[in-house]
Chain A
Amino acid sequence: MPPIIEVRNFTKKYGSFAAVNDISFTVEEGSIFAFLGPNGAGKSTTINTLCTIFEKTTGTLLIDGKDVSLQKNEVRKAIGVVFQESTLDTKMSVEENLRMHCVFYNVPKGEVEERIRFVLRLVDLSDWRKKSVASLSGGMKRRVEIARGLMHYPKVLFLDEPTTGLDPQTRAHIWEYIVQLQKEKGITIFLTTHYMDEAEICSRVAVIDGGVIVADDSPYALKKQHTMDRAYITTQNPEALESLLAAHKLPYQKKAAYYRVDADDTALLLQVLSAQKDSVTDLEIRKGTLNDVFLEITGKEIRG
């Protein structure tokens, strides 16, 4: 099966500044794909170009085999977007915003009412249906924005930092539904996020930094490649532990209360340690996280 999104040698310049510099990647149909990267990395630039509303500088971008610069209308029919910044109609009510979206995307008349009820329940705004968008709080506006994006079923759904600024319950709710959309409707999800727990759910994660893709793999593979498991060991018999670790060529660091061991292969480490199970009083193993991957690759701490 050909990839649903195909990007080859895409470059976007603002003036002489290349915000995205010659990137290539593909996204499998029906997968959840995440763009991870520090602020200003070029994530939104890429999404906006894929959505047909930014003009690329050079490169080829295809969605479902259609060129985003040449077959704009076909591409627009295949996608749904929640932009990073607000695109709500602040002059209208919540319901009017949702209804207008149905007009734009030709949602069958008979389904509109049911869809509105459903998405409003999903983002917990049923009581706000008739209120003007201008009167909502920032997070509530964001919820309306997401609800609107979920009104129709596109082939590819773009979500640019969809859950930033939302409370944890809403975030969990929306995520549950996004995964359901992917599983049951086979919708491809392309998102950017600064939350590592969200990236963790994705089929694939591409890390972008300074306009170039610096890593692109499954969360599992990324963690495997870029992080090690870390064991914190407390023992009654330090000399025995040290010689044991040294004998197996396991590098360790001695701290005041514990030994720290970085291990590629946790199973092996446990096997080694089992020889001393009487003297080891405490053992904690921390798996490497995507956050570690991120820091390792981009060398910067990120918010979220």
Chain B
Amino acid sequence: MIKTYIQTFQKYRYLLGNLITRDLKIKYRRSVLGLLWSLLNPILMMLLLDAVFSMLIGASEIENYPLYVILGQTLFSFFSEATNGALESVVGSSALMKKIYVPKYVFPLEKVLYSFINLLFSMLAVLIVLMFKPIAASFTMFLIVIPLGLLLIFTIGFGFILAVLYSFFRDIKHLYSVLILAWMYLTPVIYPLSIVENTPVVGLIVKFNPLTWYITYFRDLFLYGTIPNLTTTLICIAYSFGMFILGLFVFRKAQDKFILHL
């Protein structure tokens, strides 16, 4: 059975690539500055943060605070963009899905991968910024593929679930826009983990929040040149594959039903 899965995936891999190219073309063709903007955005933000925080005292509590924020924000916007895209993907392709057989998981998967490519562009910009910073480049930087890959797997799984929910309940979209906002505040994107660690409920949520783990993992490697320990790595892996398997399971269960709802 696994073998036939892999065979059909091979067959539709080209479609997946084409759909991603389609989205990239549309995004970057619409605005001439599109690609440039993707690169420029983190750089400008960086300059702004640098300027603001050099004026504030006490912000130096976090080493390299501007970069700390940029990294957190870049990773979180990926998650937000990708999951929103996945949420709408199935409903958005319903016209096509009702006319021709295409494996349905292609659509949420495509949206997440598309956002991931945008994330890679932004990371490129961050690397450019880094060259102007007094940060010793460390070999641990190469290890960022680990948290990036794990975050990607987690996001795909979560995206599958959202796509299914939205195909049944159209008001999920509004709920999710609130949830993602709350989720951002409960993730150490702009604040250091240490300030919530001792608050009772919030601290616990932040600590169990998978995104906290991925983002911290990433910053440790990228910013501070340290390698997270084995336990941390295993927890990240567990979150990723747990969510991926759950998502796949939910999607497979629902896909014969939601087609009737579209």
| A and B held together in a complex | no
Chain B interfacial positions (CB closer than 8 Å to A): none
Chain A interfacial positions (CB closer than 8 Å to B): none
